[in-house]
Structure formats: structure tokens, C-alpha cells
Amino acid sequence: MQGFNVADFLDALTNTFLLRGALVTAGLAAAGLTGGLLLGLLIALLRSSGYRIPSAIARFYIWFFRGTPLLIQLVMIYSGLPQIGIKFGVVTSVIIALVVNEAAYMAEIMRSGFLAVPAGQQDAAMALGLSRFQTLRRVLLPQVARIILPALGNSVNGLLKATSVTSVISMEELMRRSEMTMQVKFDVLEVFAAAALDYLVLTTLWDQVQRRLERRLDRAHGRAPAVSARDVARMKLEQFSTLKQEI
């Protein structure tokens, strides 16, 4: 049995074919994260709404996409939907699968963030005359972002590694290109070791981004647009003064 060859490992590590695959992996993760955050926010808001039917739909969505493997979802989108006349290409199928799967997890992460914000914050914002959208954008989301960032970081790490599943439908990301390289050179251990190191580099880079975001949000926490009791008291005093003048 041939042992581990350092020269072959270094050759795989600097292989531009594999490096381009790592860039594809990073791009897929970024697309999945962006779409997952947006769709996850919508699902979280529906889940927390007081309307019965939208909340039930959101709960079903979370239950289904968290309870079934990403691999099955991917295959159903790529190979199952064409059976009913809906056909997507490889890249589109991969992005859709990553987004809908990630959104289910993001929805629960965001919902936990909203629950962690004191209820008085929303009540005070509404008392100050802010609309629901303004309350969400200026009061709730900045606080939620700071709360959920650690959980978000873990989810992104998982998403980076989950992109390897897309190789089953011939998406040429890092894992698929590693398999293609092994079929040519037969350096199984060396190529897999290089691919593992590439994944470690990607997750480490995200870890650095996450740390910077955490420090930035921590510095801005003192200036967070939370509504204070002083704001509410001032607003009530102004209302009382206006009412007194009208009388």
C-alpha cells in the first residue's frame, strides 16, 4: 500500500483546479447565507405573528426543511421537480436548495433573537410613533443581530461544509473537483488532505470575519438604537403639553 506522499499533497494543495473549486464553495455558501437570512427573517416574522394561518405555514416550513436531509431536498429540486414540468440548472438547483434549507435554521435563530429582546423595547418604539417597519429596522434588528451572531457563525461553518453535498448532482465545487482529481491521479489521501485544509482555511477566514463583526457590534452596543425609558417619558410629556394647550 502506497503511503502518504508529501510532494503529491503539496501539488494538490497548490492545484489551481482545486483552488477554483474552493472559490466556488465560498460563493455557494455566500449565496446560501444571503438568501437564507432574507427568507429566514420572513419565516421568523410569520412564525411569531399573531395570525394563525401564516404562523402555521411557517411552523410547517421549519419542521419540514429542518427534519429532512439537504441531500434529499437537493435531489428533489434537481431531479424531482422536472417530473412536474419545473426544471432548473445545476447551479440554480444548488442555490435554491441551500437557501431553503438554511432559511429554516435561520428562522429559528432569528426568532430566538427576537424573543431575547425585552418586550418593552417594541412597546416603547410604538409609543414614540414609530411604524412597525421602523421599529423592526431601527430598534429590533440591531439588537437581534448582536444576539444571534455566535449562532449565526456556527450555522455558516456548517453551510460551508454542507456545500460538499452538492457534488452528487455534479456541481463542481471543492469536493466534486477533488473527486475528479483523484480519478486522474489516484492520490486519494493527498487530495482529500488538501481539500480538508482548504475547508479549514475557509472556516478560519469566516471565524475572523465573525470576530470582527462581534467587536464592531459590541462597540456600537452603547449607541444601539434601543428606546429608553427617558425617551418614553419625554414623549408622554410632550403629548400632555400638547393636550393641555388644546384644552
State in words which class domain 6-246 has: mainly alpha
What b/e string do you get for 73-91 counting C-beta neighbours within 10 Å, with b at 16 or more?
A: bbbebbeeeeeeeeeeeee
| Placement of cell 410629556 in the chain | 237
CB of 193 closer than 8 Å to CB of 9:
yes
Average of per-residue pLDDT across 199-207: 93
* 15 DSSP assignment: -
Handedness of CA 222, 227, 228, 234 (dihedral sign): positive
Give tens-digit pLDDT for 118-136: 877 777 777 777 777 788 8
Q: Can you give the pLDDT at residue 43?
A: 96
Distance CA 140, CA 118 (A): 10
Check whether 232 has a pLDDT greater than 50: no
Per-residue pLDDT of 34-63, as tens digits, reads: 999 999 999 999 998 878 999 999 999 999
Condensed to tens digits (0 to 9), the pLDDT of residues 63-92 reads 999 999 999 999 999 999 999 999 999 999
pLDDT in tens, 137-172: 778 888 888 888 888 888 899 999 999 999 999 899
Which has more confidence, 165 or 233? 165
Determine the number of helices (DSSP H) and then strands (DSSP E) in the chain.
Answer: 11, 0
pLDDT (0 to 100) of residue 213: 86
Predicted local confidence at residue 195, as pLDDT? 94
pLDDT at 237 over 70: no
User: Residue 242 — pLDDT band, cuts 50, 70, 90?
Assistant: very low
Nearest alpha-carbon partner for 146 in 66, 207, 225: 225
Mean pLDDT of the chain: 85
Q: Name the residue ranges covered by the structural domains of the chain.
A: 6-246
Q: Which residues contact 247 (CB under 8 A, 6 or more apart)?
A: none
Q: Looking at the predicted structure, is the pLDDT value of residue 16 above 70?
A: yes
pLDDT at 115: 87
pLDDT 10s digits, 180-189? 998 887 888 8
Mean pLDDT of the region 195-222: 86
> What is the pLDDT, as a whole number, of residue 236?
46
pLDDT at 93 over 70: yes
Please determine, for residue 230, whether its predicted confidence score (pLDDT) is greater than 60. no
